[in-house]
Structure 1
Amino acid sequence: MNNRLKAYTQDSLRTQVAGADPYQLIQMLMAGAIANINYAKGAIQRGELENKAKYLSKSQAIIESLRTSLNLDVGGEVAQNLNDLYLYMVDRLADVSVSSNIEILDEVSGLVQQIKSAWDAIPQANRDEALGQLEPAAASGA
């Protein structure tokens, strides 16, 4: 049954991604980063080292994807600040790989949540402008 549920969940996610616009894809990436950070936290609390490593790696990969989607030429200071913040978050998650410090996970999760809240609050009329600060491949959903 667990394999069936996992397959259903994966199919559902593929469907959501296929139907999402670039703005929604960024929302999904941020939500995925937060979820994986929370999974890593649970794995640490349960002493599951393999799962801790898996979820930290996924979190880092998602945050790195968000970072590389930034268009630093167009986004100016805001994009550069986000770039630096994403680099900081990836470094902090690497620290957790060694220390298993849950407070660091809470810190990084809080940072992603703040960015996501700001992204979610962008009015529909301003979304094209926000997407213009992403690299062309990210803005097109590719």
Structure 2
Amino acid sequence: MFSQGHAGASAYARVGVETGVMGANPHRLILMLYQGARKAIAQARMHLQQGNIGPRGEAITKALGIIGSGLQASLNKEVGGDIAARLDALYSYMTRRLIEANVSQSDEMLVEVDRLLATLEEAWIGIGVEAARIMAQQGQVDAQR
């Protein structure tokens, strides 16, 4: 009985995430990737503390996928120049640290990667606020024409 309720809640959560992704602009999608990676790392830390080896590995694998196949893969290195190159190197570093954290069962390494992601997430939020302000100003200019 508990499993069915849990499955229903899980399905409901998936629909919510899918709906959020489908309705999100590119800026919001990157923010969701940062949040997802951080959530996976939080889960990995919890499983590490509880000694749950399999679920810890699954959570770290999820974070690795989000960073590599989501954040790193979304970089446009041709247009992004030095910033994209530096982010690429930082994402590669995070990937290495997550693998090392899993092998050595290191909470400190998980915390390190989470802090790096938190810093990038905060900066990304700031970029979004500024971009929205610029777009609103541009919309006002276009409406006056």
TM range (shorter): 0.7 to 0.9
Q: Structure 1 pair 111/126, CA: closer, same or farther in 2 (3 Å)?
A: farther
TM-score (norm 2): 0.85
Q: Which runs of 5+ in 2 are unaligned?
A: 136-145
Give 3-state SS (helix, strand or coil) of 1:110's partner: helix
Give matches, 1:122-133, under 5 Å. Answer: 122=127, 123=130, 124-125=132-133
- Which structure has the larger Rg over C-alpha atoms? 2
Distance 1:67 1:11 in 2: 25
CA RMSD of aligned residues (A): 1.1
* Equivalent in 75, 95, 102 of residue 97 of structure 1: 102
| Higher RCO (C-alpha 8 Å, min separation 6) | 1
The count of corresponding residues between Structure 1 and Structure 2 is: 127
4+ residue runs of structure 1 moved beyond 6 angstroms?
none
Residue type of the partner of 1:94?
I
Equivalent position of 2:62 in the other structure: 58
TM-score (norm 1): 0.86
Identical counterparts, % of pairs? 35
Equivalent position of 1:68 in the other structure: 73
- The Cα offsets for residues 73-108 of structure 1, whole Å up to 9 and x where unpaired, read as 111111111000000000000001211100000000
**1:119 and 2:124 are equivalent in the alignment:** yes
- The Cα offsets for residues 46-92 of structure 1, whole Å up to 9 and x where unpaired, read as 11111001000000010012111111111111111100000000000
Q: Structure 1 pair 105/126, CA: closer, same or farther in 2 (3 Å)?
A: farther
